[in-house]
Structure 1
Amino acid sequence: MATAPIIVHPPLGTGGRRVTARGQILGLAYTDGDVVEFLRRAGLPDEEELLDDSLWVKWRGGRAHHYEAA
């Protein structure tokens, strides 16, 4: 099975999560809104519901939708 094209990486010690799409860094997100904006800028669907679709987004480390420092 193919891996999700969008990865939201574990929270950093300073807060925020790195977001990548197919290995390309999109940015550092501090909210779901940031992730949605990164997707929009990358030309991907920017619907917030996409964040809970495991075919599109893989949340690594920590809980999904949490951006606080680890």
Structure 2
Amino acid sequence: MSGQVVVTLIAALCVLLPLAWCMPSQTTRPEAAMTRREIIKDFVAKVQALIIELIEKLKALSALR
């Protein structure tokens, strides 16, 4: 993948993940909503960590050029 494609994907994730976090839950059970929210929160944290790692690797790669 080219650098521009990677940056575009990162930008899309940065926009879509908070949007997904704010969407209302379809369930009426509070415990299910809380569990769903925790799963989403963990997923967002992991994706953000991967994005940070990818950006660091891209910076290191561009520094080698």
How would you bin the TM-score normalised by the shorter chain?
Answer: under 0.3
Q: Flag the structure with higher helix content.
A: 2
**TM-score, with normalisation over the residues of structure 2?**
0.26
Q: Flag the structure with higher strand content.
A: 1
**TM-score, with normalisation over the residues of structure 1?**
0.25
Identify the structure with bigger relative contact order (alpha carbons < 8 Å, sequence gap 6+). 1
